[in-house]
Amino acid sequence: MLFKLRAYQPDDFESLYEIDQACYEPEIAYSRPELRHYMRFPGLECVVAEAEGRAVGFCLAASEKGAGYIITMDVLAAYRRHGIASALLEAVEQRLATRQVREVWLETATNNAAAIAFWQRRGYRKRGVRKDYYPGGRDAFTMRKSLDRPAGA
């Protein structure tokens, strides 16, 4: 599947909101005000994936003082398993690295085996559990990845 990555533009907001609504249960998906709030975070990085002439996924991250945080990674179900999420993550990590970010953090549901495997394959490691992180009392793993590269890498 052919896709391209590009930087977020303000006109993308509604499309990204709709993607988030499609990717997550209603109690987990972001409301418009929540998503707008995240779009104003310091050190914001948002990369959008397009396929077939429309946005099909995005990765939203923020950074401050050498640390980055993946806020959300969303890819529409019909476009998964084509390398889009991996490409989005790589692009966001590269952008964070240019901001001198040395480590990236995220949370993912402890019962989402596919997501846990995705993050682990990309170098993220479990660092703890956040109890009741999600609505309904669901826990989340806190995961971390170092962006430090060995010399010459």
* Phi, psi angle pair for 94, to nearest 5°: -60, -40
Task: Render pLDDT for 9-26 as a digit per residue (tens, 0 to 9).
Answer: 999 999 999 999 999 989
Tell me: pLDDT of 137 over 90. no
Task: Render pLDDT for 24-42 as a digit per residue (tens, 0 to 9).
Answer: 989 889 999 999 999 998 8
Hey, what CATH class is 4-106 in? Answer: alpha beta
CA distance linking residue 151 with residue 153, whole number of Å: 6
Round the average pLDDT of the chain to a whole number and report it: 93
Tell me: pLDDT of 149 over 70. no
Domain ranges of the chain: 4-106
Task: Render pLDDT for 90-110 as a digit per residue (tens, 0 to 9).
Answer: 999 999 999 999 999 999 999
Closest CA to 96 of 123, 56, 60, 142: 60
